[in-house]
Amino acid sequence: MGKIDNKCDQQTEVTNHSEDIELLRQKNDDLQARYTALFRLNQLSQECDELNHFYAQVHRTIASLMTAENLFIVLYDQTFSLLEFVYYIDEVDECPEGKIDFADYEGSFTSLVIESKQPLLVTPEIDQQLQDNALVKEFGVRGTDWLGVPLLHNDLVIGVIAVQSYSESVRYQEADLKLLTFAAQHVVGAMVRLQDQQRLKNAVNARTKELMAQIREREKAEVLQESLYKISELSTDVNLDINTFYSSVHDIIGKLINAKNFFIAKYNIEEELLEFCYYVDQKKDDLIEEFKPRKLSNRFSELVLRNRKTVLLSYEDMLELYKQGKTQKPHKNIYSWLGVPLIYSDKLLGVMVIQSYESKTMYTEGDAELLNFVSNHVSAAIKRRELADFERRSHELLEQQVKLRTLALEDEITQRKQAEKLLKHTAAHDSLTGLPNRTVFIDLLSHAIASRKRNTDFSFAVLFLDLDRFKVVNDSLGHHAGDTLLKIIATELQSIVREKDTVARLGGDEFVILIEDIDTQGEAFDVADRITEFLSQPFTIEDQLVYTGTSIGILFDDDRYDSADLMLRDADTAMYHAKDSGKGRYEVFDASMHKKVQHALSMEADIREAISKQEFIPYFQPILRLDNEELRGFEALARWQSDKRGFVYPNDFIPLAEETALIQAIDMQIIEKACQQVRTWQLDLGCSELYVSCNLFSQQFFSSNLPNQIKRILQRSGLAPKNLRIELTERALLENTEIVLTNMQALKEMGVKLLLDDFGTGYSSLSYLHRFPLDVLKIDRSFISNVHEHDNHRAIIKTIVDLATNLQMATVGEGIENLADAELLQQMDCMYGQGYYFAKPMSAVQASAYIQEKIQSNSILK
């Protein structure tokens, strides 16, 4: 019996040993399968070109480890609280489309995984428990088992991968949960790499398109620049025959536009005569008869001369003008006609015309704009050629005179007198323009004051001129171009005034004029009007059109003046008043201007005192989602509650505060008070996601201490960095870029979001959008105001929204004042907006009531 028992025990041990071996083999197979799957997942980012292919490969790999007929991958954007189902295979439900607000999915199994950062296995029993505790809601068709795990990157949830069964035959266990968690850990790395590759590819493609467009525009500009340079060269060759000159101009224009039929006609203003100095035509049989000089009539060239504007006509347009009695009947073989005036220094020189006898050649508005641009340079070339011919004839005449007077000029006494005269002139006149200098002008003005004292009927006026945009000319074209412009203006100013009046240059771009012996003040106004009109016209400097203008201060004689310096000071004050009032105008000095200066000094002192008293307070304007008007945050705007002045609006103190650099202290006051207020709302009203957006003057970003200032404000207020947004303008990005970039990166690392304010009105360059860590673009109100009435504004806004989307930035539309604009912005995928249509800036008390209304209507992100 003992032997039999012993044999049974041995057989049992063999059986158990076999089972152990089979179990180990099965575990080894499972482990091998896991490593094979891991290896496959690590290969996917190198093998897949697109994320869509990658997600499908992930599905197949997971399906090789477990039953996964129904699988989806959803990405989570924590910054904007958005969900996007990027992969979705389900035998029952359809894939949710587009990006979805996370708040709309609260109570789903997916939201539980995201919020907990933990894997979740939901069986029917667990599902019932969650429903009983009101932790979940119904989303789609309920299956049997649901299994989801978070996709974690740097301890942040960036998405969820989930599988689901609709059959009792397919049930998930803890082993499946561990297996899917294991797979998800290795999916994230490959997925992030592919996402980065896709973003880089998108950025490269966008930049490539931009560069190709720049290259094409640069090629066009180079051809045009070369043509203009050749035209300029022709005008300087005095030995070139005049007919060859015009023929060469024709050849150059022909390279820019189809100009087979071309003529230039000069306008003789004294005789009202049109003289054809050059013409080429394919269809005219008798060119001499057709292009002989003629009195002005009702032809199409005269239409250009009378309007002093470019005229672009089709045959139908020409026939309509004929029917209206404005022109003679056109030739039937003309398909397209384009004429531009030749104007130099506001003087009409003639007309330049091209015309087409072929239906395939029809001139466009672009051709008209190009020919009109070229005409300015042709006009300048013709005028320079005429001046060169005149100078050549004058030079020849001068040579004859020099020969006749050689003996006299060699006389030593004459030479000494001329030298003395030159020295006196140099001492009394500006070396650049030849105008009297400040010393001479002060003497003449003192003499006028004395004459007024002796004779009260004697009246005079002083005009103080300062050129607008003169610095732009110097900076862009160089000081030589600026000097040329000053000499042209000096000459023209002398021609505008009477011989007995004096034009002087004080220095830089400042001129003064003494108008003596006037009968009425209107005479001074007339001179100022003519000067303003003259300087509003463009100048051609070194083949470039230059635009300037002037601000003029006018001062009339008054018995209270004894000092020329005092009169000059008050005229200068009037000039600055004109410049502050909009430039391109003149202002007459009065006592109120002194008061304005005194007011500015008083205002500056009060601002400094207000800063020390903490009188500046934030007003809050809501920022809402455009699709449902859900409140997301506020922009804090500076207001001044002054003990002395009462409530002061920003337009009354901000310009002066910026000019005196006091705005920096005001900005910090507003940020700190706004942060404190928002923190109070969060605690009292339970709206923890509410944020505030504050403006910073551009020079704030030039200080390396800025991040520490913001950090201390957040610490004192208790507001989380994610609830603060800083707005800056493009100007800050264009100056001291290294320190600005360093400060922005420090704020980003802190958790503060950065907004670019007034985007679209400045340089709007892609280069700094790529370089600087911006989160949001704020579209300037100038594009949004009544955008539904402006197609070009819509195109600009759509471009900005698409650009921001490609760069993973959000967009906020400013200045929305009506429903139509709000709806149109939403249709163009602009997500957020603010403006008077929703709410005006309001005090903290008013804003509290506004928030409570939003809470009651469930229209606020909590």
The residues near 52 (Cβ < 8 Å, ≥ 6 apart) are 86, 87
Average pLDDT, the chain: 84
User: Region 740-744: what's the mean pLDDT?
Assistant: 91
| Contact present, 551 and 468 (Cβ < 8 Å) | yes
Q: Percent of the chain scored above 90 by pLDDT?
A: 35
pLDDT category of residue 679 using cuts at 50, 70 and 90: very high
* Mean pLDDT to the nearest integer, 676-685: 95
Rg (CA), the chain: 40
- pLDDT tens profile 625-670: 999 999 999 999 999 999 989 998 898 898 888 878 899 999 999 9
Query: What does the pLDDT average to over 164-187?
Result: 87
pLDDT higher at 406 or 179: 179
Choose between 417 and 749: higher pLDDT. Answer: 749
* Candidate ranges 288-297, 456-465, 573-582, 653-662; pick with highest mean pLDDT: 456-465
What span, in angstroms and rounded, lies between the C-alpha atoms of 527 and 513?
10
Residue 710: pLDDT band by 50, 70, 90 thresholds?
Answer: very high
| Residues belonging to the chain | 862
Residue 798 has pLDDT above 80, yes or no: yes
Helix, strand or coil for residue 770?
A: helix
What is the rounded CA–CA span in Å between residue 375 and residue 368?
10
Calpha distance 321→313 (Å, rounded): 10
Give me the mean pLDDT over the 66-72 stretch: 90
* Burial category of 745 from C-beta neighbours within 10 Å (exposed 0-12, middle 13-18, buried 19 and up): middle
Question: In this predicted model, what pLDDT tens digit does every residue of 494-512 receive, in sequence order?
Answer: 999 999 999 999 888 899 9
Report which listed range, 410-424, 584-598, 814-828, is most confident. 814-828
**pLDDT for the residue numbered 272:** 87
User: Can you give the pLDDT at residue 3?
Assistant: 47
Q: What is the pLDDT of residue 711?
A: 95
How far is Cα 837 from Cα 785, in angstroms, rounded to an integer?
11
Residue 17 vs residue 362, higher pLDDT? 362
pLDDT > 70? residue 212: no
Cα separation of 480 and 542, whole Å? 10
Is the overall model pTM greater than 0.85, yes or no? no
Q: What is the pLDDT of residues 347-391, one digit of tens each?
A: 898 999 999 998 888 998 888 888 888 888 888 878 877 777 777
Return the minimum-mean-pLDDT range out of 1-5, 133-137, 310-314, 612-616: 1-5
| All domains in the chain, ordered by first residue | 31-200 (3.30.450.40), 242-389 (3.30.450.40), 420-589 (3.30.70.270), 600-856 (3.20.20.450)
| pLDDT of amino acid 473 | 78
Phi then psi for 124, rounded to 5 degrees?
-55, -35
pLDDT reported for residue 355: 92
Most confident of 4-13, 55-64, 409-418, 593-602: 55-64
Mean pLDDT within 745-757: 93
Q: What is the pLDDT of residues 428-448, one digit of tens each?
A: 788 899 999 998 999 999 999
Confidence of residue 593 (pLDDT cuts 50, 70, 90): confident
3-state SS record for 825-842:
HHHCCCCEECCCCCCCCE
- Does 526 have pLDDT greater than 50? yes
Answer for the pair 481, 473: CB distance below 8 angstroms, yes or no: yes
Rounded alpha-carbon distances, angstroms, from residue 350 to 274, 376, 377, 694: 8, 12, 13, 58
What pLDDT does 795 receive? 80
pLDDT score, position 447:
93
Res 611: pLDDT: 92
Helix axis angle, 521-535 to 479-496, nearest 10°: 150
Residue type, 697: F
- pLDDT, mean of residues 335-350: 90
Of 241-255, 324-338, 828-842, the one with minimum mean pLDDT is 241-255
Lowest mean pLDDT segment, chosen from 11-25, 38-52, 182-196, 813-827: 11-25
Give the pLDDT confidence score for residue 520 in this predicted structure: 92
How high is the pLDDT of residue 140? Answer: 79
* Residue 763 pLDDT > 60: no
> For position 85, what pLDDT does the model report?
92
Long-range contacts of the stretch 174-181 (C-beta < 8 A, 24+): 174/121, 176/66, 176/121, 176/147, 177/119, 177/121, 177/147, 177/149, 179/34, 179/65, 179/66, 180/62, 180/66, 180/119, 180/147, 180/149, 181/119, 181/149
Tell me which of 5-14, 452-461, 837-846 is least confident: 5-14
Dump pLDDT digits (tens) for 472-495: 777 667 788 889 999 999 999 999
Across 270-274, 552-556, 787-791, the highest mean pLDDT is recorded for: 552-556
